Chains A and B, each alone.
Chain A
Amino acid sequence: MPTLKMILNGQEVFVDVEAGDLLADVLRDRLGLIGTKISCGEGECGACTVLVDGKAVDSCLYPALKVQGREVVTIEGLGEDNRLDPIQQAFVDKTAPQCGYCIPGMVISAKALLDENPHPTRQEIEEGISGNLCRCTGYYQIIEAIELAAERLAEKGGPK
């Protein structure tokens, strides 16, 4: 079995994987990080979104060994101790989640967007989460949450 080495949520991780494993399966089944969801399994819903070297990717379509030596951030990597990340807190404050299944992917996509573009327009937010499907909310509260997160992050001097 090949050994995969990556920086996962800020920590160096070594994990034995099958060559054919996908990143989502390694995160969930081998590392127990079940915050990353699998829904469609074919890159159409974004529930499995994680960051690889800062870019949002669908981990259900991503060969695990592609992240050899790379940096991966999952929903578990956001916030610290018992404090939510400002993006997560904004989702709570705006009641953005309903069933919640799409939310880890939404939050990661929002993070990718705000890290790159701290002051997005509404249209840029819509584009930023256009790779994530939500069947409950109609997206309005999610978009408002990302707007709120952007405002709060700007007050604090930017993301991260």
Chain B
Amino acid sequence: MWDEYLLPASLDEALEMLEGHGGEARIIAGGTDLVLQSQRGQCPAKVMVDITRIPGLDHIEERDGLIYIGAQVTHGRVAASPLMRSRAGVLVEACGSVGGPQIRNVGTLVGNVVNALPAADGAIALFALDAEVEVAERAGRRWTPIATLYAGVGLCTVDPCAAMITQLRFRALGKGEAGAFERLAKRRALVLPILNAAAIVGLKGNKVERARIAIGPVAQTPFVAAEAAEALVGRTPDEDRISRVAQLAAQAAQPRDSLLRGSAEYRKVMAGVLVRRALWRAVEAASLQEGEDANS
């Protein structure tokens, strides 16, 4: 375990603490994964810099059509947020399926991303939402697409001993747009997913204008099935088309044999099933929503 636990009161102070310890200190937020990693000797940091007391990192808000989520926001807060429910339901579903209530009350969505695991429920939804993250370093702050953070299983390109992610952002789902999240697991709570999938669909009339599909864990990093999604754009999303697109997504997915999660063969088939379900629910919700807007 660590030797020192620090509670900085500002972002600058946190970054100074990291710098002052020359790689021996790292950022901690909820710590639900990090504490275990530290106990197992997988986290060599001697000093923990806890960012949960820093003002200005606990927001879930919409500005100019973009949703911003701060680094302190837990899965539980996302899952309970009315704004998120109306503007990014896919993320509500994903965050609501992580662990159990105790884990969701503590573990943060940004932490889910920093962990860089290809099965992370929140991250899969964020990939479907095409999110960006804001990285704060001593040199300043910058925005970068979420995919640039992933260098492999559990490998994040943002070094938590030198920098931190301050917030996430993505375009809020608007008129005629909706998403859905599907998860396959042995129980409904407290277990890691065998597979998960998120889909976003934007409709104009009866045609798909925009589609995005993310699947985990079927590669080293969260997998975006771009070609499959492209095969939906400009088409009428009927049952046949959705099944074909889901099949394309499953073909592109490359799950491995896993003692924990099942055989590659099984999971490849099930990836198609999950994507089909997610697309179907997304299309239904999007058309309902478009209808509502037309009536209002």
Contact = CB atoms under 8 A, between A and B. Distances in A.
Given A19-B5, A62-B31, A131-B100, A57 B105 contact: yes
> Of A2, A43, A45, A112, which is in contact with the most chain B CB atoms at under 10 Å from its CB?
A43
Interface string B99-128: 111110110000000000000000000000
B52 A43 contact: no
B220 to A, nearest CB: 24
Contacts of B52: 66
A42 interface: yes
B100 A130 contact: yes
B32 interface: yes
Given A63-B48, A128-B101, A130-B189, A58 B106 contact: yes
Interface in A95-129: 109, 112, 127-128
Contacts of B28: 63
A33 interface: no
B31 A66 contact: yes
B4 interface: yes
Given A20-B3, A20-B5, A133-B190, A63 B101 contact: no
A39 interface: no
Contacts of A57: 102, 105-106
A127 B3 contact: no
Contacts of A45: 190
A58 B50 contact: no
Contact of B102 (A58, A68, A127): A58
B188 A43 contact: no
Most buried by B among A2, A66, A109: A66
5 contacts: A2-B5, A57-B106, A62-B35, A66-B50, A131-B99
Given A49-B102, A131-B100, 4 more contacts: A20-B38, A57-B102, A63-B28, A131-B189
